Amino acid sequence: MAESIKFTAEELKSLQEIQNQYQTKTIEFGQMKVQKILLTQQLDSLERQMEQMEVDYTNIQQTERELVKTLNEKYGPGSLDPQTGVFTPETVESDADKDEEK
């Protein structure tokens, strides 16, 4: 049977340092994985919010189209100054006006 050999204090210290480094890296890997999971969750949440904003934006566009249609039916074509709230109807030339220009 082979005789047992005792490592020196320096060799044991080096082995312990390597074990500590492995443990530290294992903990760091775990922390990074948790951070990645949290970031993925945040990204998923942002994606859902953006999708909802797109739906909201489309709904706003539809509401605008409906309002413009209603106002055009009520007041006819024209332009609105949103600052003053003044609506200026478009002048529609009648056939008589067109004949006068000729």
Question: In this model, does residue 1 exceed pLDDT 90?
Answer: no
What pLDDT shows up at residue 95? 60
- The torsion defined by the Cα of 5, 9, 14 and 16, in degrees rounded to 10, comes to 90
What pLDDT shows up at residue 101? 63
16 — pLDDT class (breaks 50, 70, 90): very high
Q: Tokens standing for 82?
A: 């949103």
What pLDDT shows up at residue 55? 98
Question: In this model, does residue 41 exceed pLDDT 60?
Answer: yes
Q: What is the pLDDT of residues 49-102, one digit of tens each?
A: 999 999 999 999 999 999 999 999 998 998 889 899 898 998 877 666 666 665
Query: How many C-beta neighbours within 10 Å does residue 80 have?
Result: 13
CA distance 25 to 31: 10
What pLDDT shows up at residue 2? 86
Q: Tokens standing for 80?
A: 């609105």
CA distance 95 to 99: 6
